[in-house]
């Protein structure tokens, strides 16, 4: 039996997830070891976020020039080069390696999202989002810990090699699929900057973008600062990787949260998820004087945050107009770059005067504020 479209796309996202997560915890831990200070790590991630934002906005132009398959090839090459630079374990290779990693993942994400919007019916997007996240659960559960374990017990370059090999597998799978052949599309301006003001003039798109940016910011905070917390508090890097893996591993419950969203509405699901995540994050900061207890409460916060993924990006997918999905998807996807840009900037300032728990207080306060915005989600959602 020929697999359905949603299954094929879910496999693509599985491969992208493995390429990304096998180095997810390796990168902040390596940055901390090379730089020696949490504030300096925040400043590096701030610079990487700025470069990543510019690179992401250029991807629609790349797609128009070299098509989607060409953009995927560019992303694969970038990820391979990123791994080679990061495997040197030097400050010189750190920043360009991180920038190329962000650009590569952005290429994969935008190309795959464009294909999803073209081939998955709008009425099925909610179910597809839950299925996509469920397929990605395995790499996001085991990848963060496995990368650190391989680096500590096999060789430091192994996670980067696996990431590059998985990206090549994704390229081969996509290139051999029927989705590599694009449908004809109306010729429109290739300049994505033209669509930025148009995007932010539409309240439903803005709401979807702000909520997605907040969700991504919290997970970015968790993925970067939870392993650093483990190392600073006397736990080892593998424990930090395990914290991230277990926390993200709650995404196995996404089908359940997706059902809750369909049963009670995305508005109710998001309201609960953002509020609970904010409250527990602040509690985790208070308890960080006890490493084991602090780590346990961080995992509880991750459990609450994962409930938000039950709705995925369905708010955006239901709001965007089909005729401008390319450029609008690039603008919407910039929430990831903003999530990599703004929090490190804020945290670098906070860490000048406060210790690491201040990061989680700020993250929790942000999520509590976003919980208030969920009341603007249409009741029919």
**Per-residue model confidence as pLDDT tens digits over 31-61:** 888 887 778 888 888 888 788 777 877 887 8
Count of CB atoms situated within 10 Å of the CB of 176: 9
Question: Whole-angstrom Cα distance, residue 292 to residue 230?
Answer: 9
| Confidence at residue 122, expressed as pLDDT on a 0 to 100 scale | 63
Any idea where the domains of the chain sit in the sequence?
A: 5-179+193-376
| Confidence at residue 181, expressed as pLDDT on a 0 to 100 scale | 61
Question: Whole-angstrom Cα distance, residue 98 to residue 310?
Answer: 29
* CA dist 300 → 222, 246, 289, 318, 380 (Å): 12, 10, 17, 30, 30
Write out the two tokens for 354.
């406060």
**Per-residue model confidence as pLDDT tens digits over 336-360:** 777 777 887 888 888 888 888 888 8
Q: Which residue in 73, 174, 28 sits closest to 115, CA to CA?
A: 174
Contacts with 259 (C-beta within 8 Å, 6 or more apart), sequence order:
130, 310
Question: Whole-angstrom Cα distance, residue 277 to residue 315?
Answer: 20
**Residue ranges in 22-124 assigned as alpha helix (H):** 26-35, 38-86, 91-119
Contacts with 206 (C-beta within 8 Å, 6 or more apart), sequence order:
199, 200
**Per-residue model confidence as pLDDT tens digits over 122-160:** 666 667 766 777 777 788 888 888 888 898 889 889 999
| Confidence at residue 126, expressed as pLDDT on a 0 to 100 scale | 63
CATH class of 5-179+193-376: mainly alpha
Contact 9, 120 (CB under 8 A): yes
188 backbone dihedrals φ, ψ, rounded to 5°: -130, 175
CB-hemisphere CA count at 13 Å for 172? 6
Spell out, as residue ranges, where the chain has pLDDT lower than 70.
Answer: 1-4, 122-126, 129-130, 180-193, 312, 322-327, 330, 380-381
| Confidence at residue 326, expressed as pLDDT on a 0 to 100 scale | 62
């Amino acid at each position: 039996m020929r697999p359905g479209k949603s299954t094929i796309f879910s496999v693509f996202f599985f491969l992208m997830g493995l390429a990304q997560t096998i180095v997810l915890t390796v990168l902040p831990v390596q940055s901390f070891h090379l730089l020696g200070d949490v504030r300096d790590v925040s400043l590096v991630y701030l610079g990487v976020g700025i470069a990543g934002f510019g690179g992401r906005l250029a991807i629609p132009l790349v797609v128009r020039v070299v098509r989607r398959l060409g953009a995927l090839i560019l992303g694969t090459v970038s990820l391979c080069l990123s791994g080679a630079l990061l495997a040197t374990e030097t400050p010189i290779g750190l920043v360009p390696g991180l920038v190329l990693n962000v650009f590569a993942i952005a290429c994969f994400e935008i190309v795959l999202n464009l294909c999803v919007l073209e081939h998955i019916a709008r009425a099925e997007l909610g179910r597809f989002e839950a299925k996509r996240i469920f397929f990605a659960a395995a790499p996001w559960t085991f990848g963060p810990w496995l990368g650190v374990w391989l680096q500590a017990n096999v060789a430091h370059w192994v996670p980067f090699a696996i990431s590059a090999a998985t990206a090549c597998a994704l390229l081969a799978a996509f290139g051999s699929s029927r989705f590599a052949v694009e449908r004809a599309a109306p010729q429109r301006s290739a300049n994505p900057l033209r669509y930025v003001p148009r995007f932010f003039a539409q309240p439903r798109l803005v709401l979807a973008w702000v909520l997605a940016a907040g969700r991504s910011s919290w997970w970015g905070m968790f993925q970067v600062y939870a392993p650093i917390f483990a190392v600073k508090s006397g736990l080892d890097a593998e424990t930090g990787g395990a914290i991230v893996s277990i926390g993200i591993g709650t995404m196995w419950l996404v089908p359940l949260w997706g059902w809750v969203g369909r049963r009670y509405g995305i508005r109710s699901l998001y309201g609960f998820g953002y509020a609970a995540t904010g409250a527990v994050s602040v509690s985790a900061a208070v308890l960080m004087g006890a490493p084991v207890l602090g780590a346990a409460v961080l995992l509880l916060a991750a459990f609450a945050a994962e409930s938000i993924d039950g709705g995925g990006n369905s708010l955006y997918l239901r709001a965007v107009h089909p005729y401008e999905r390319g450029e609008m998807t690039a603008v919407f996807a910039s929430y990831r770059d903003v999530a990599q840009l703004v929090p490190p900037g804020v945290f670098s300032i906070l860490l000048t005067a406060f210790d690491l728990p201040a990061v989680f207080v700020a993250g929790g306060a942000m999520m509590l504020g976003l919980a208030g915005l969920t009341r603007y989600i249409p009741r029919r959602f």
